[in-house]
Structure 1
């Protein structure tokens, strides 16, 4: 019965959204253009090369990684959504690691890239060059704190390295097939990401077009849907810069429903739980909010 009700609700929502798009083509076009330009100008140049190179590394050396957790931390925190999730899925298959141990680490490491956070959010949108260090601390300190907790809780995994499944002498060479596979996987992931970005950008455009007088509410809805549009609406809002920084850091930590949908498209057949991922992301967002309030209002 629950499945039937859920199916009917989902069907109703899809039909309702389709009707709205048909009768408001201008807003749909604005949202689609924004999402397409974001995907083409930002996501493809920054994410696609990282995915291809990471896939090649995992293909050639993934089975010989003595500690794949460190590689997930490195790629996830530096390369941006959804490479942290993609790397966790790949290495969990290569090294046969329990997905339960990877689950929490994936939520920590699957984040916006430092380039996106610094250039787009802090400098371009909020124009907070003077508070650059403060905002970086707000965003990354909770992640580092949770990483330390994870490493202490799973210290055996870091102290006793995993035994390679194959000998170093027979490490795979990177051949043309591995390169082709890495490129195709990269394009598949980036194409999925682009589809979700366009879809959620359209939804965000409709939110922006609604006659909602409360700017904070409009920003919260937009940021919950899609982080880029949400941050942009925060930058244009008329409330205090302190509140802008808190909301921007919170949405950056959460990632938005668009990034959750992107992550789900990658992990849904791998044994990872999207419900636990969302739960962990909410925890990270709340810790970030506490950190932001402390840094902005106390220090």
Structure 2
């Protein structure tokens, strides 16, 4: 077994080195293409990723360090444990991921594991279904910006989240006997709140250190994400510019009898989600095929997102290969649910759709920054409030019933 793993690791390293050498050669051969693609990735990171994700990262980090997540975990245990076989703390990364998108759910799950609020098996169950895209991306960027038809958004959004929840239910049986049972929490809400706060004071001694450490951790994560976005933006464009890769695409075209642009879109999406979806939306294929492939790519999320997620997972003992496997299952389930929803409701509704005008960023957009940032802050605070309110109501109802 050790020899087989060693061979697999060696082959993976050889493949990785080969891709890096091809990318390096492509950068040297096409410096202008590399510069343009890097600039595009950098602008996406600055104009969209920083203002939209940074508030979620900072607020989430503060709440974890304050003991808020530990508190709601005690309250939501009666729901999360029977459904997904994870502690109540799992509701926090699930909710934040649904609202903000990749890679918030994985980052928060990794942080909860670092804080020992989750066991290894619980973390692996949780991480299988809390890595989701955000509704704003699926509605704004995909349905409106790329497909030019916002009424199609249910065919993309519903299958994606149904696939996620299905995974959560299926993975509840993963290492089933290695989780804890529902704790019989007989303490009052105020006692639980006090206990969680006392626990948090063991790690943070002052408000100043709490805020500074949260900002530092969040900025490190944002910079890391920016690096991956720029790297994969360059890699995808360089690969498509190489003759060998184009020969490979022609081979796939002849072997599977698929449109070349469609193949390029799928391959691009496997590496980088937004680029792939944009290419798929522009292809000359029927609308249902576009939607199903886009559903697959959003569920898969791309190696760019995987690299970001694995960088957080690597700080824990969570199995990264299990995460990759769960994302493939998520892609398959999202495609399946999309087709089922089409048969049930949209079969007589779908009409041909043409490529809409997609906004491409050509400069740093400072005016949009405050709006996106403040909107993200409002969303993060709102979802925190709703989680708190829901956890209290669940705790009260559970005590009444039991």
TM-score between the two structures when normalised by the length of structure 2:
0.68
1:132 counterpart residue number: 153
Q: Is 1:167 matched up with 2:208?
A: no
Checking the alignment, whether the CA contact within 8 Å between 1:111 and 1:253 is kept in structure 2 is yes
Pick from 206, 212, 217 the counterpart of residue 185 of structure 1. Answer: 217
- Aligned-partner SS, 1:108: coil
Query: Residue by residue, what CA displacement relative to the aligned partner does 1:217-241 show, whole Å, maximum 9, x if unpaired?
Result: 1011000000011111112222111
Question: How many angstroms apart in 1 are the aligned matches of 2:115 and 2:197?
Answer: 18
User: Contact conserved, 1:254 with 1:281, CA < 8 A, in 2?
Assistant: yes
Rg (Cα) greater in structure? 2
How many residues get paired?
299
**Is 1:47 the counterpart of 2:68 in the alignment?**
no
Task: Give the Cα–Cα distance (whole angstroms) in 2 for the partners of residues 4 and 236 of structure 1.
Answer: 38
C-alpha deviation, 1:169, in angstroms: 5.9
SS at match of 2:153: helix
Per mean C-alpha deviation after superposition, the further-off stretch among 132-141 and 252-261 is 132-141
Asked if the contact 1:207–1:218 (Cα under 8 Å) also holds between the matched residues in 2, the reply is no
After alignment, is 63-72 or 48-57 more displaced? 63-72
Write out aligned runs for 1:181-220 (5 A). Answer: 181-209=213-241, 214-220=260-266
Task: State the shift of 1:297 in Å.
Answer: 4.4
Post-superposition offset of 1:134:
2.8
Unaligned stretches of 5+ residues in structure 2: 1-5, 75-87, 250-258, 346-402
Match of 1:282 in 2: 328
CA distance 1:276–1:115, shift in 2 (3 Å): same
Q: Superposed, which structure 2 residues align to 1:46-195 within 5 Å?
A: 46-61=52-67, 62-64=69-71, 65-66=73-74, 67-150=88-171, 159-160=182-183, 167-168=195-196, 170=198, 171-172=200-201, 175-195=207-227
Query: Match of 2:128, SS?
Result: helix
For residues 125 and 196 of structure 2, the distance between their equivalents in structure 1, rounded to whole angstroms, comes to 30
Q: Once the 2 structures are TM-superposed, how far is the Cα of residue 158 of structure 1 from its aligned partner?
A: 7.7
Distance 1:161 1:272, change over 3 A: farther
Q: Secondary structure at the match of 1:143?
A: helix
1:63 and 1:94 in contact (8 A); partners too: no
Deviation at 1:269, TM superposition (A): 2.5
Shift in Å, 1:215:
1.4
CA contact (8 A) 2:100 2:134 kept: yes
Cα RMSD over matched residues? 2.7
Deviates more, 1:130-139 or 1:244-253: 130-139
Match of 2:363 in 1: none
